[in-house]
Structures are given as structure tokens and as C-alpha cells.
Amino acid sequence: MSENYGHGRGRGGDDVGARLTYFAIGATVGALVALLFAPKSGRELRQDVADATRKGVDRARETGSQLSARAGEYYETASARAGELAQTARDAVSRRGEQFGSAIEAGRQAYRDEKRRTESSALTENEPRALEGGNG
């Protein structure tokens, strides 16, 4: 049972928007039911229903505006955070690339040094033999 607790909370604004929508619908239905059972004349009842409908529409518009503004704020925040994460990833890749490039260059330099050392030792080993062969 505790597994389901807070299950819907991860969506944030969706949950609040749904609750506000349900509240507005419930308030409108409740107001209409109260008006229908109130002892009034037809003209007064129609006027009250029209007023309640206008108020409900106004509340719905206001709620929609608030939700729209909140969604815009969430979008801007998420967009900024995504940009930061992307820049962090680019920086990390760049650093890794530089490290990798440095490692490759160090390997190349080590290869060149070893090649020179091997060639120079081969030349020094061959020189005395050439001299010995020329003297004999």
C-alpha cells in the first residue's frame, strides 16, 4: 500500500491542475443543484443559473491562465536546466577528448623515442663490426 503512496506526485503541475479542474467542476455542479432546489421563481432561477455559469466560466478562465503561466515557468526552468546539463556534458566530453588526445600524443612520442633508441643502438652495434671487417 505504501508503494502507491505519492505515486502521482512525480508529475507536479499535472496533479495540481487536475485537482483545480475537479474543484471547479464540483463547485459549478453544486451551485447548480443548490439553485435548482431553492424556492425561487423561474425568472430569478434563470438569472441565478446564468450568474453561476458566468462565475464558473470566469473561474475556469482564471484557473486556465494560472496553469498556463505555471506551465510556462516550468518550461523555462526545465529548458534552462537542460541547457546547463548539455553544457556540462559538452565540457566533460571536451575534457575527456583532450585527455585522450594527450594520451595518444604521449604514446606517439614514446614510440618515436623508442624507435630512435633502437635505431641508434643498432647503428652503434653495427659500427664496430664494420670497422673490424675493414681492418681485417
The pTM score is 0.39
Residue predicted with more confidence, 131 or 76: 76
Among 27-31, 44-48, 71-75, 97-101, the range with the most confident prediction by mean pLDDT is 71-75
d(C-alpha 7, C-alpha 58), whole Å: 32
State the first-to-last Cα distance of the chain, in angstroms, to the nearest integer. Answer: 100
pLDDT value of position 133: 52
Q: Over 80: is that where the pLDDT of 87 sits?
A: yes
Query: Domain residues of the chain, as ranges?
Result: 13-98
Q: What is the pLDDT of residues 88-135, one digit of tens each?
A: 988 888 888 888 888 888 889 999 998 888 888 877 776 655 445 545
